[in-house]
Amino acid sequence: MDKYAVFGNPIVQSKSPLIHRAFAGQTQQELSYEAIFAEEDKFKERLNEFLASGGKGCNVTMPFKQQAFQLADKLSERAQLAEAVNTLTVDKDGKLLADNTDGAGLVADFHLNNVNLRDARILLIGAGGAARGVLKPLLDEKPEKLVICNRTLSKAQALAQRFASFGRIEAEEFSDIQSAFDIVINSTSTSLTGGLPPVSAKIFSSNTVAYDMVYSDSATRFNIWANDNGVALTLDGLGMLVGQAAESFLVWRGVKPEIEPVIKLLRN
């Protein structure tokens, strides 16, 4: 039976084994998928042990996405642009192929919810690793424009420059953003601590779709704030999590599972 895994620290909370086992059942694929804890300085060793035991591929989550990027033999274009890797695959020559499916997962979740990205005005809040991983797939959807804002403006400016050849992308200060967007995506880590990015509520209108990349059992603070300001729809990162997993499954197995039933399974 082909072996897969996810590496992280912490990892006990990972929903990836449940998701991939559900995909395997749905697509009638025989495989195993486990969660593997690696000490902060032992990712390479744990990965090599897994590969030596016949592992065919793995997901990589916090805090190892940059290390996986460094260890790969070959990078996909989206991994190269993201400078982070969430999917590793062993090819027939034993080489380690690296990919980043996070952005494709986000876009898949928008599509599932009938949110149109083409010609949309998108605001991306935050310019860390999570933002970098989704920029190219978002720009590939041909929005009217994508504005990226960040507490540290220089990081937003650097990303706008790096991705300029893929579409209209602009960096702005938090304080300069005073109008509504069709889609507002929160990629900052503020929801993890119950905080909010210091952006004006003018970013929201009754047509806005708000997306918080974080998810939790109850609504995130960002999505509560968006709802309080009358947005059309709020979505959280659970769909993106299942979406990126489906894209990884496709890379490994050549079949793309349905994400909707698995999102429902996790919500329940």
Binding-site entries: 14-16, 61, 77, 86, 102, 126-130, 150-155, 213, 215, 237, 244
**Integer Cα distance of 213 and 95 in angstroms:** 32
**Integer Cα distance of 231 and 207 in angstroms:** 6
129 near ligand ATR, rule: CB under 6 A:
yes
Between 17 and 63, whose beta carbon lies closer to ligand ATR? 63
Known active-site residue 42 = no
Residue 235, H or E segment:
strand 233-236
Type of residue at 207? N
Which residues are known binding-site members for NADP(+)? 77, 126-130, 150-155, 213, 237
Residue 246, H or E segment:
helix 238-253
Q: Nearest CA to 63 among 98, 80, 38, 94?
A: 38
Between 107 and 124, whose beta carbon lies closer to ligand ATR? 124
Q: Nearest CA to 210 among 243, 192, 179, 235?
A: 235
Residue 245, H or E segment:
helix 238-253
Joined tokens for residue 102: 């996070």
86 near ligand ATR, rule: CB under 6 A:
no
Stretch that binds ligand ATR, among 7-15, 110-118, 186-194, 234-242 (CB under 6 A): 186-194
Stretch that binds ligand ATR, among 101-109, 181-189, 215-223, 256-264 (CB under 6 A): 181-189
Q: How far is the CB of 161 from ligand ATR (least distance, A)?
A: 16
> Which of 65, 142, 145, 202 does the annotation list as catalytic?
65
Q: For residue 37, how many other CB atoms are within 10 A of its CB?
A: 13
147 near ligand ATR, rule: CB under 6 A:
no
127 near ligand ATR, rule: CB under 6 A:
yes
Which parts of this chain interact with ligand ATR (CB under 6 A)?
A: 126-131, 150-152, 155, 187-190, 195, 197
Please identify every residue annotated as catalytic.
Answer: 65
